[in-house]
Chain A
Amino acid sequence: DAGITQSPRYKITETGRQVTLMCHQTWSHSYMFWYRQDLGHGLRLIYYSAAADITDKGEVPDGYVVSRSKTENFPLTLESATRSQTSVYFCASSEAGGIGSPLHFGNGTRLTVT
């Protein structure tokens, strides 16, 4: 089915470990985004990508790495997880960067860092 899927849905990891969150979309949208959502902070942009091999930082990029070798995939890696990275992570895609073009969100990954 067409859409945007994130995996895993839930993840528990330990401090210091590397963890990768996956995001896959089937619409061939140019733009993809990673947001984190925490109580009291709403949705905050981590990284975004305008096309394959083009990525840029958002509001809170520290501690995260992204790549976009293929249009449909946009993985997010926490190189050395910290407890402050416990959050719900949403991936999104859009045709034209979100302005006038809706963001389509995945169902989220709930990450707990112990």
Chain B
Amino acid sequence: GQSLEQPSEVTAVEGAIVQINCTYQTSGFYGLSWYQQHDGGAPTFLSYNALDGLEETGRFSSFLSRSDSYGYLLLQELQMKDSASYFCAPGPGTDKLIFGTGTRLQVFP
């Protein structure tokens, strides 16, 4: 079977660091993607991990541990504009990404 777990909501203040965890179970695995979606908007791609370890892109970093079926998105120096929903999407195959219900991040001043 396939399953995906993320916290439903995370809150933080501007300037802080927040980590959004993702655990997954898929029948196959090719990599873990992260997407951001602002209210009323479309999801946009943030990062992709195919191998274990940390990938850094500016203030955002994404980590993957394939042996633990676990990943996280790390957001540093939080800004108000980071308030959005964040989806991890493990890929069981080349054609199908699974998106869960996502994590709603609220950043307060």
Q: Which residues of A contact B (CB under 8 A)?
A: 31, 35, 40-45, 48, 50, 56, 58, 90, 92, 96-100, 102-108
A92–B70 CA distance with the chains assembled, in angstroms: 26
**Are B42 and A105 neighbours in the complex by a CB distance under 8 Å?**
yes
Q: Is the CB of B101 within 8 A of A41?
A: yes
Q: How far is the CA of A54 from the CA of B44 in the complex (A)?
A: 25
Interface residues of B (CB under 8 A from A): 30-31, 33, 35, 41-45, 48, 50, 87, 89, 91, 93-102
Q: What residues of A have a CB within 8 angstroms of the CB of B87 in the complex? A: 42-43
**A42-B101, A43-B87 given; A99·B94 CB < 8 A:** yes
Kindly report which residue of chain B lies nearest to residue A108, judged by CB atoms. B42
CB-CB nearest in chain B for A35: B99
Complex alpha-carbon distance, A42 and B45, angstroms: 16
Residues of A contacting B30 in the complex (Cβ-Cβ under 8 angstroms): 99-100
B31 is contacted by which of A92, A100, A104 (Cβ under 8 Å)?
A100
Please, could you name 9 A-B residue pairs with CB atoms under 8 Å apart, sorted by A? A40-B101, A42-B99, A45-B97, A50-B95, A97-B94, A98-B33, A102-B33, A102-B48, A107-B41
